[in-house]
Amino acid sequence: MHQKISFGLAITVSIVFGLTYLIIGCLEIISAILGLNIPLIPHDFMGGFVNITTATIYFFGIKELLNQDVRGIAFPFFGTIFGLGFSGLYLLIMLSSIATKTIIYNERLTTTILLEEIRIEILLLPILAIVLLWFRNHILRKFSY
């Protein structure tokens, strides 16, 4: 398959995101076991597992891309969708918690509440969305008919 896609860029993206998710995932698991309190990192064993899975998806792609195999692009592509899905889900949960606290229990909307509920994956959302759009426009178009 000789399609022209910028392998270099794809590999860089994979490495960056892969490492990011790996670090976040490990931190989440460690904080769940040891009970450490890190800002923006919840104590979430399963959440950490999910992030490490995402990291692994990105890393698998690097090997394929190094071999100049076009199908390698599937990994960062799916990894981004995956990460985006969870970020969206966490955002939804955050909104639901905030709504519960403010509307039902009538607490005031303060920054402390926001800080309690937020988690780091939500902050990644815009970056992931941009990367996905980039995939759509530059890579997938090359596969259309």
Partner 1 sequence: MSRKPSRKCPSNSKFCLICPLRFFRKIFPAKPARKIVIGVIGNPNVGKSTLFNELTGAKQYVANWPGKTVEKKEGIRFWKGCELHFVDLPGTYSLSASSLDELVSREFILNEKPDVIIDIVDASNLERHLYLFLELAEMGARIIIALNKIDIAKAKGIQIDVEKLSKLLGTPVISTVATRGEGISRLCDAIVGVALGTIKSNPVLVKYSEDVEEAIRLLEEKIRQKIEKHPSRWIAIRLLLKDRDVINLVSKVAPEIIKEAEKLTYRLEKKYGQPIETIIAEQKYRLIEKIVSETVKYVGHPILDITDLIDTVVLNKYLAIPIFISILWAIFLFTFDAATFLVEGIDFLFEILADFARNNIPNELIASLITDGIIAGLGSVLVFVPNIFFLFLAVSFLEDSGYFARAAFIFDRIMRKVGLHGKSVIPLILGLGCNVPAVMATRGIESEEDRLLTIAVAPLIPCSARFPVFILLAGIFFGKMAAIVMLSMYLLGFALAFLIALIVRKIFYKGRISPFIVEMPPYSRPSLKSISLHMWIRGSHFLKKAGGIIFLMSIIIWFLASMPPGVEFGGPESYAGIIGKSLEFLFKPLGFDWRIVTALIFGFVAKEVVIDSLGVLLGQNLEEVLPQILTPISAYALMVFVLIYTPCIATIATIRSETHSWKWTLFVVAYELILAYLLAFLIVFIGNLIF
Q: Which residues of the chain form contacts with partner 1 (CB under 8 A)?
A: 1, 3, 46, 49-50, 53-54, 56-57, 60, 70-71, 73-75, 77-79, 82, 85-86, 89, 92-93, 96-97, 99-100, 103-104, 140, 143, 145
* 45 vs 126 by CB, closer to partner 1: 45
- One-character DSSP codes across 59-115: HHHHHHHHTT-GGGGHHHHHHHHHHHHHHHHHHHHHHHHHHIIIIIS-----HHHHH
* 30 vs 117 by CB, closer to partner 1: 117
Task: Assess contact for 38 and 28: CB atoms under 8 A.
Answer: no
- One-character DSSP codes across 32-59: HHH---BTTB---HHHHHHHHHHHHHHH
User: Least separation, in Å, of the C-beta of 14 and partner 1?
Assistant: 12
* 89 vs 133 by CB, closer to partner 1: 89
User: Least separation, in Å, of the C-beta of 51 and partner 1?
Assistant: 9
User: Least separation, in Å, of the C-beta of 32 and partner 1?
Assistant: 12
Residue with tokens 């860089």: 12
* 105 vs 108 by CB, closer to partner 1: 105
User: Least separation, in Å, of the C-beta of 75 and partner 1?
Assistant: 6
Residue with tokens 């995939």: 135
Q: How far apart are CA 93 and CA 51, in angstroms?
A: 17
Q: Which two tokens stand for residue 87?
A: 């970020």
* 104 vs 108 by CB, closer to partner 1: 104
User: Least separation, in Å, of the C-beta of 128 and partner 1?
Assistant: 15
